Amino acid sequence: MNYVSTRDTSEVPRSIPSAEAIKNGIAPDGGLYMPEVIPTLTEDDVEQLCELDYPGRAAKILSMFLCDYDRDALEADCRSAYAEERFPGGAAPLVSLGGDVYSLELWHGPTCAFKDMALQIMPRLLSRALVMTGERRLAHILVATSGDTGKAALEGYRDVNGVKITVFYPEDGVSPMQKRQMITQEGENVAVCAVRGNFDDAQTGVKRIFGDSALAARAESEGFFFSSANSINWGRLAPQIVYYISAYCDLLKENEIFPGDVVNVCVPTGNFGNIFAAYIAREMGVPIGKLICASNSNCVLTDFIESGEYDRNREFYKTMSPSMDILISSNLERLLYHLGGAGLASDMMAELAENGCYKVPYAVLEKIHEDFAGYFCSETETAETIKTTFDELGYLVDPHTAVGLHCARKYIEESGDTRKVILASTANAFKFPGDVCRSLEVEVDTDEPSALIAALAQATGEEAPANLTRTLSLPVRFDRTVEKEDMAKFVFGEI
Ligand SMILES: *Cc1c(COP(=O)(O)O)cnc(C)c1O
């Protein structure tokens, strides 16, 4: 099965194998890659998946999308990516929170956020893609991060042969702990740089470098090419489909549901990547009902799902869930393509680039309403959710997961829908110790990550993940900040 660009409107779109799509990251016309057809799973297939462990499920599902990859190679890659030493206690455990909500804990990996689920396997997929496509140039991965992708990508790509990685983060747009994790990154092939601006500025800057043919030619002459590790890369999305299907299997195995039962999924959303992976699982035939799209105060997606109008011309809020402080949700383009074809996707994206807004036709909005429900959660509600969840259930959630939990409950209350909800729990609370302490009404008068982590551990009786505490003792390696116009110069070592 091959991949096409969401913006290729030609009668016979150009299609490429998955290895090339993963290598390129973004299509030359600025579109995102999508599979030509979405493979399907029958009820029997799902039951067979139930018998496998997480790496086995991942290998089976990935092989349906990455048909040009050797099946045994995928199996080997999944076994090492999701090994116990990288994900102690299992890659994606499901924990009941009562009230028919289940927390799908996606943060047991090396950087304590769900990005590890994709970024531990994706470098392996890229390495194979370079060999499969006979590539001789070095791949230079450029990443714009709202906090968690950057660290997870650095950790995934560090010291991988044939690859170099540069991460840009918004100067004041990430938590102190997230920043600390990045600026202390180890590895010989890594670089990290702050950008003056917000996440959208950093993401737009990276997209501009990808789209600039003069820069591509210059890279070529210096022996490398650009590739991406953001969720615009299909190699990021495909591994994320796995855990939704795996969670469904776990519910079956635990007899929480019967074969064929429909469950809902709630995802705290920024770039629309993680929730789109759940949508693909649904399109594959897994019995998923509603996809609850949870936003923080930057509720551009909530408004879009309600009205069909996407409008990024609005105030940008810095919240305690920084990985969702996003006004341009790139992966929405994939949904538009899936619902309305390349014509719709390219028209809408052209309008977005020109006016910062677009409105989808009513027929498309109706389809969106069938599958999605959009809710948002204020800062006060986020803090309350962290506090009540800990007080009542003894369960510690990070601010992103709290946004999701609040929205899941709001959906259940408003709709009366009694189906079970799988909630994507996207980060460990210790990544955001300051805001979590304040939400729990624990007095803290410092911004120093190690003091905050100690205070949170003390107040909750929970242990901070070793990977985070280790970071605190490492020396700072990267302290540069550049203007958003100067990102390319930084990449080429001119400043
Ligand atoms: C990246 C991230 C999100 C948002 O995921 P998208 O795929 O961008 O929608 C939510 N929570 C956390 C903790 C994240 O790191």
CA distance 260 to 92: 22
Burial 406-432 (b: 16+ CB within 10 A, else e): bbbbbbbeeeebebbbbbbbbbbbbbb
CA distance 430 to 408: 23
| Close Cβ partners of 426 (under 8 Å, ≥ 6 residues apart) | 106, 107, 113, 114, 148, 268, 274, 323, 398, 400, 401, 404
Q: Decide if 484 is catalytic.
A: no
Compute, in angstroms, the gap from residue 270 CA to the centroid of ligand 1.
Answer: 6
In ligand 1, the atom with minimum distance to the C-alpha of 427 is 13
Compute, in angstroms, the gap from residue 229 CA to the centroid of ligand 1.
Answer: 14
Query: For ligand 1, is residue 334 a contact (CB within 6 Å)?
Result: no
Compute, in angstroms, the gap from residue 72 CA to the centroid of ligand 1.
Answer: 30
Atom 12 (ligand 1): residue with closest C-alpha?
426
pLDDT of residue 89: 86
| Close Cβ partners of 40 (under 8 Å, ≥ 6 residues apart) | 284, 285
pLDDT of residue 62: 98
Query: For ligand 1, is residue 240 a contact (CB within 6 Å)?
Result: no
Compute, in angstroms, the gap from residue 274 CA to the centroid of ligand 1.
Answer: 7
Instruction: Let me know: does 308 contact 360? Beta carbons within 8 Å.
Output: yes
CA distance 76 to 40: 23
CA distances from 431 to 36, 117, 281, 325, 450 (A): 38, 16, 28, 16, 11
pLDDT of residue 172: 86
Instruction: Let me know: does 473 contact 194? Beta carbons within 8 Å.
Output: no
Token pair 């006016």 is found at 355
pLDDT of residue 146: 81
pLDDT of residue 307: 98
Q: Where are the beta strands (DSSP E) in 276-409?
A: 288-295, 309-311, 357-359, 372-376
Burial 187-222 (b: 16+ CB within 10 A, else e): eebbbbbbbebbbbbbbbbbbebbeeeebeeebeee
Closest listed residue to residue 457, CA positions, set 470, 448, 469, 472: 469
3-state secondary structure of 397: coil
The mean pLDDT values, 10 residues at a time, for the chain of 495 residues are 96 97 91 97 97 98 98 97 94 95 97 96 95 95 91 95 95 89 96 94 91 94 93 94 98 96 98 97 98 98 98 95 92 98 98 97 98 98 98 98 98 97 98 96 91 96 94 94 97 93
pLDDT of residue 211: 85
Query: For ligand 1, is residue 270 a contact (CB within 6 Å)?
Result: yes
User: Which of 320, 323, 332 to mutate for ligand 1's pocket (most ligand atoms within 8 Å of CB)?
Assistant: 323
3-state secondary structure of 350: helix
**Cβ neighbours of 134 (radius 10 Å):** 6
